[in-house]
Amino acid sequence: MLKGKRKGRVKYSLKFYLKIQGSNNRGALIANVTHASKRIKVALGLNYIEPQRWDKELQRFKGDSLPALQANQELDALRTAVGTYFTSTDEPTLQGLQREVFPNVPNSTDSDGATVVSWFGRFIENHKPKGKRPTANTLASYRVVLRAWQAYEKYAKTCYDLNALRAMGAMQDKRARTTVESFDRFLAEVGASGQPLTDNSRAKYLKIFNTFLRWAEKETGQPLLRGLNTGSEVVARASFALTEAEREAIEAVELPQGGRMHHVRNAMVMALYTGLRFSEWTKVNPSLWREASQPITMPKTGRTAIVIHRAPVRRVLKEYSETGFPLVVKNNAKTNELIKQVAKAAGLTRLVTSTFAYDGTDHSELVPVCDAISTHTLRRTKVTLDLDSGVPLRDVCLETGQSEAMARKHYDRPNINQHVERLGVRRIITEENE
């Protein structure tokens, strides 16, 4: 217990304790402040804490783990702030203390329904940017970030409520920022699924988390943390596209008729000639194969792409005109696995550079195309080969439903060797070639 004196008598006391929640034998950390025979209890936003992690005598978290050290730093900061308030204020009151030290924190220990997880669930259900429900892909991305936050709470052995992300006053802002920075470090060093995230992925996660905070701020009327470091501009790093010969090899490879690899190869051919994302494949209607083209709405952006029924695309659509696309091309993970098998069967062993950035450092390695190829490689290939063959960028964007800047930045992956060959420059074999 921390006691303060003013003019020879005790003016306040501050004590932290765990309030056990329900039957799970875990507690929420509470700050209990008394002054002038009055008392306030403030829930600090740290919930579901295991009692064995808390030292009741020292009123500190046990151990030297990063979450424990950070929580103890927050408690020390609160002790200092409370002491400063009572020793520097002429007429201190509990109401004044709450305004100065615990801004916007309810004078209550009831945090049911106020957890970050519960608010994030409401965000997914109710968020309507520009009055419209997000696309299915966007909602899926929201859920991925929610699962990552839940994994972080499990790792930190702490359940945060929305108070932990409130920002008003330097101390509260620092506490909220430290919480989000800890989440970011968790993503970089551990990862929700046990695999650290690249810088690009972390930037995307924080961008979504920032969107959640802005929504929750409007819903609650309370100021939440701003200025999240969402990283630099997210771009594809050292990704590659297939060559014309590799596209032809995929079309020509012989596979068991009606097998899973056969179906996936057909979907690959359609994607190579249309540039569709995986989420858009099954939006195409095979029964329209006789038409010259068909428009589809892209789930990710809500924009329109034009599927041109070139001969390779028409052959694929005709095969599924009666049955529709098989289930195997509706599972992203399974499709990506089978794509690699198809590429291996087609002999795509060219070495390409795979580069990812972790904490600002590039990590590169050479891997065969058949090990690095994915559904998105097919979209990059469509854009790259079209631009290589002189198709106007405007026409490419009309078909793929993307902006010209996005097409250039994210999908154009020119083949350097082919570029050099077109210039007529060759490797010198003998002195006669000089």
Q: Which CATH number do you get for residue 292? A: 1.10.443
Query: Any idea which residue has 């978290």 for tokens?
Result: 61
Same domain, 415 and 283: yes
Task: Give 8-17 pLDDT, tens digit per residue.
Answer: 455 788 999 8
The C-alpha atoms of residue 232 and residue 201 are separated, in whole angstroms, by: 11
Same domain, 69 and 188: no
In a domain, 430, yes or no: no
Segment 60-66 mean pLDDT: 84
Q: Which residues contact 198 (CB under 8 A, 6 or more apart)?
A: 356, 357, 358
Same domain, 189 and 167: yes
How would residue 378 be classed by pLDDT, with cut points 50, 70 and 90? very high
In a domain, 179, yes or no: yes
pLDDT greater than 80 at residue 429: no
Task: Give 349-360 pLDDT, tens digit per residue.
Answer: 999 877 666 556
Q: How far is CA 401 from CA 235, 371, 409, in A?
A: 18, 28, 15
Domain end, chosen from 216, 234, 252, is at 234
In a domain, 90, yes or no: yes
- Cα angle 267, 268, 274 (rounded to 5 degrees) comes to 90
Please give, one letter per residue, the 3-state secondary structure of 351-392. EEEEEEEECCEEEEEEEEHHHHCCHHHHHHHHHHHHHHCCCC
Residue 433 has a pLDDT of 53
Q: Is 266 helix (H, G, I), strand (E, B) or coil?
A: helix
Domain end, chosen from 49, 80, 110, is at 110
Segment 290-304 mean pLDDT: 86
Domain end, chosen from 80, 110, 140, is at 110
**Residue 379 · residue 275 · CB < 8 Å:** yes
Tally the domains of the chain: 3
Same domain, 37 and 140: no
The C-alpha atoms of residue 56 and residue 15 are separated, in whole angstroms, by: 10
Same domain, 230 and 271: no
Same domain, 342 and 259: yes
How would residue 197 be classed by pLDDT, with cut points 50, 70 and 90? confident
Per DSSP, the chain holds a count of helices (H) and strands (E) of 16, 12
Lowest pLDDT segment from 98-107, 159-168, 398-407: 98-107
**Residue 68 · residue 32 · CB < 8 Å:** no
In a domain, 297, yes or no: yes
In a domain, 346, yes or no: yes
The C-alpha atoms of residue 305 and residue 297 are separated, in whole angstroms, by: 6
pLDDT greater than 50 at residue 235: no
Same domain, 273 and 299: yes
How would residue 362 be classed by pLDDT, with cut points 50, 70 and 90? low
**Residue 247 · residue 385 · CB < 8 Å:** yes
Q: How far is CA 30 from CA 45, 61, 64, 213, 261, in A?
A: 8, 13, 21, 24, 58
In a domain, 427, yes or no: no
Same domain, 99 and 5: yes
Same domain, 415 and 350: yes
In a domain, 431, yes or no: no
The C-alpha atoms of residue 18 and residue 5 are separated, in whole angstroms, by: 26
Segment 219-231 mean pLDDT: 75
In a domain, 76, yes or no: yes
With 0-12 / 13-18 / 19 or more C-beta atoms within 10 angstroms meaning exposed / middle / buried, residue 389 is: exposed
pLDDT greater than 50 at residue 7: no
Same domain, 106 and 117: no
Residue with the bigger pLDDT between 114 and 361: it is 114
Q: Is 280 helix (H, G, I), strand (E, B) or coil?
A: helix
The C-alpha atoms of residue 299 and residue 295 are separated, in whole angstroms, by: 13
Q: How far is CA 138 from CA 134, 235, 373, 405, in A?
A: 6, 18, 24, 21
Q: Which residues contact 312 (CB under 8 A, 6 or more apart)?
A: 251, 269, 270, 272, 273
Same domain, 362 and 417: yes
pTM comes to 0.53
Question: Which range of residues forms the domain containing residue 222?
Answer: 113-234
Q: pLDDT > 90: what percent of the chain?
A: 25
pLDDT greater than 70 at residue 63: yes
Same domain, 179 and 141: yes
